[in-house]
Structure 1
Amino acid sequence: MTALGFLYPGHSAEDDYPRIEQLLGGDIRVDLVHTDIGEDAHRVDALREMGSAERLAAGMEELRLAGADTVVWACTSGSFVHGWEGAQEQVRQLALTAGMPASSTSFAFVHAAREIGVRRVAVGATYPADVAALFAEFLRAGGLEVTGMRSSGVVTAAEAATWGEVDVLTLARAADAPDAEAVLLPDTALHTVAHLALLEKSLSKPVLTANQVTVWEGLRLADRRVNAPSLGTLFTRQPLVQA
């Protein structure tokens, strides 16, 4: 049994995780612990506080007791707002506290894009424009080319959690660009897992979403690869051999 641990801020789209666990099947267990979100605001200062070392450390004991093998900070905005170096330090501290391999959703997007062999990406963000721009900057620091960005101006995770299939598909279509090899939809507060097949069929290209890549990152840390076509291209390709 491989036990994947996730620190998830507040209560928004956490039901994506048991859904993914079911779709993975077999001997994969998904353990999710909620962290204190503090102020629910897609604002840089609030997001930095939400991802503070103290808030993340508070959830680690429960994951250790659950027997997690890896831990991922399941929040995109609460990691990339620290910048590339700051997000690396956040993960380093989390690994030290946890005593196990650690990562975050922001790094998961970069690693997932590399895994499927894409470099040019379009981004459909729920966030306000200034926060979305920080995500694009993070991706560029990770070696990706952002060909287009669409910001929806959603100011809280609670609002993002109310979005349904039509809203998610509309955002993805609006963000897509002809020269983009994949479309990225950040925000772990956004329900996307049930819509992955429709998204990729509609756009005719890979779509990477926050909760999807977060679980994939946990598997990557555990050195596991699972074929699960209903979870999109990311879960159907053979791992690329890195030069």
Structure 2
Amino acid sequence: MTATTAMTTPTVGFLYPGYSAEDDYPRMESMLRDAGGRARLPLVHTDIGTDAHRVDALLEMGSVERLAAGLGELRLEGVQAVVWACTSASFVYGWDGAAEQVRALAKAAGLPASSTSFAFAHAARALGAARVAVAATYPEDVAALFVDFLKAAGIEVTAMRGSGIITAAEVGTWGREEVLRLALEGDDPAAEAVLLPDTALHTAAWVTDLEAALGKPVLTANQVTAWEGLRLLTDPPTVPSLGRLFSA
């Protein structure tokens, strides 16, 4: 790719914790291209420290020092915005703390920045979903912190399901059937959308399957993270294979 092409193509950089479902990002880039969109979604892995959905481990995982260490590599990709591609290690700080995390990341990068937690809030608003159900891989205490974050965004959570999975490594092994079961079991008739908050969970290939099974919008962590990054730069393109969010 020439330097001129890189400059004219919307390019969002993602700081992704460890190794689990990072292959969703090149998959989504390909899906964007197949739909006639034009964007690059380069990704850099961050050091996660302890792989655990525990509050203490998540607070350390999301420290700005850990995130900033990956910015040099992203700058070489010519990124125009940066997103912390992690839900739990952003909402664990609470609404105000997560906002400060993003401000510090934007300052360190010298670029617009966001995180997956804010991506969920913005995506739900874009769909007009004021009432949602949360189907989480996390232990219940961690999932409850995501519920608190959504409430701070003015979003009502009608039901929450935690799965008790401690490590991202285990979540990354889940396939289509496990993801579908999670969404179905976490759905609630009163919810206008179902949220699956874990970037360690492969979902990009199955968003439309999930929405067909539930009959309503489904927002998944990697899907909303890509959408949020593109939103920072331009109107996200229409990509039917990535669900209703990318058709809104």
Q: State the TM-score, normalizing by the size of structure 1.
A: 0.97
Which amino acid in the other structure matches residue 190 of structure 2? D
2:144 is aligned with 1:136: no
1:148-167 → structure 2 map (5 Å cutoff): 148-167=159-178
Query: Which residue, 206, 212, 223 being the options, matches 1:201?
Result: 212
Deviations 1:8-66 (A, max 9, x none): 00000000000000011142011100000110000000000000011001001111121
Partner of 2:5: none
2:188 is aligned with 1:180: no
2:47 is aligned with 1:39: no
2:21 is aligned with 1:10: no
**Larger CA deviation: 222-231 vs 137-146:** 222-231
Deviations 1:164-199 (A, max 9, x none): 111111110111111100000000000011111110
Which amino acid in the other structure matches residue 138 of structure 1? F
Return 5+ residue gaps in structure 2 as ranges. 1-8
Q: Secondary structure of 1:30's match?
A: coil
- CA drift at 1:225: 2.0
2:125 is aligned with 1:117: no
- CA drift at 1:224: 2.7
Partner of 2:6: none
Give the distance between the partners of 2:77 and 2:236, measured in 1 at CA. Answer: 22
Partner of 1:59: 70
2:224 is aligned with 1:210: no
Query: Which residue, 104, 111, 116 being the options, matches 1:105?
Result: 116
Give the distance between the partners of 2:30 and 2:176, measured in 1 at CA. Answer: 20
Which amino acid in the other structure matches residue 98 of structure 1? A
1:229-240 → structure 2 map (5 Å cutoff): 229-237=240-248
2:79 is aligned with 1:68: yes
- Say how many residue pairs are matched: 237
2:24 is aligned with 1:24: no
Q: State the TM-score, normalizing by the size of structure 2.
A: 0.95
Q: Secondary structure of 2:124's match?
A: helix
- The root-mean-square deviation of aligned C-alpha atoms, in Å, is 0.6
Would you identify which runs of 4 or more consecutive aligned residues in structure 1 move more than 2 Å?
A: none
**Larger CA deviation: 25-34 vs 74-83:** 25-34
Give the distance between the partners of 1:15 and 1:49, measured in 2 at CA. Answer: 24
- CA drift at 1:102: 0.1
